[in-house]
Amino acid sequence: MDIYELVRGPLAWVALIIFVLGSLYRIAYFIFRGKKETVLDSAGSSLNAARSILHGLIPFATTDMRRRPLFTVVSRLFHLCVVILPVFLLAHIVLWYESWKIQWWSLPDGPADIMTLWVMAACVYFFLRRLLIPEVKQVSRPGDIGLLLIILLTFLTGFLAYHQWGPYRPVLILHILSGEALLVVLPFSKLGHMLYFGFSRAYMGAEFGQHLRARDW
């Protein structure tokens, strides 16, 4: 079978199905396994939970973000780019129309290029942090470096394929394969914070805001 057809067709379906079902499973797991503490006057302020989520979303709204401005800027823009780029890139929109006849607004190519460069530079920055900053190094596992490498590979190969630099077809196939690998591991790895960051922030807000009266953010 033609390798491009294989990664563009059946493997893309496998990756998408694992991503969607895996994500639903993880979210359902968190919702149904979460229990209220069986103590008198247990913590659980929905208002504080919502406030914590909101503060986590707004740039520089938390003390931690204000203490590390460089990390905040690099990380915030990185997160915006990794979500916006795959959804609004022209090449992807053309493929979605070809497969499902759905279409929406596409990013201009120049800004998309800059955003891709930002993502790649941010991956190198995150890699160096895990390597050089003691408190980050301490909580880093080989798998974390692996995740960073897959993200870097996905965006690097996409960048090279767009510019048609290097051997086009193998680079494009590698781009699709690494993107599919990301979709597959997302619900089952640390990348899953895309799905459940709200749960952890809500927990912290509810827990610390109620009794300690602490604004954890």
Please give the residue ranges that form the binding site for another protein (CB under 8 A).
Answer: 2, 4-5, 8, 90-91, 94, 97-98, 103, 109, 161, 163-165, 167-169, 172
State which residue, 163 or 193, has the beta carbon closest to another protein.
163
Closest CA to 161 of 114, 102, 113: 113
State which residue, 82 or 172, has the beta carbon closest to another protein.
172
Query: 168: which residues sit within 8 A by CB, 6+ positions away?
Result: 161
State which residue, 97 or 188, has the beta carbon closest to another protein.
97
Burial of 45 (0-12, 13-18, 19+ CB in 10 A): middle
Q: How far is the CB of 123 from another protein (least distance, A)?
A: 24
Burial call 137-159: b when 16+ CB within 10 Å, e when fewer: eeebeeebeebbebbbbbbbbbb
Q: How far is the CB of 9 from another protein (least distance, A)?
A: 9
State which residue, 63 or 164, has the beta carbon closest to another protein.
164
Cα 11 to Cα 2, 6, 15, 147, 151, distances in angstroms = 12, 6, 6, 20, 18
Q: Return d(Cα 128, Cα 70) in angstroms, integer.
A: 14
Q: How far is the CB of 164 from another protein (least distance, A)?
A: 4
Q: How far is the CB of 82 from another protein (least distance, A)?
A: 21
Q: How far is the CB of 116 from another protein (least distance, A)?
A: 16
State which residue, 59 or 86, has the beta carbon closest to another protein.
86
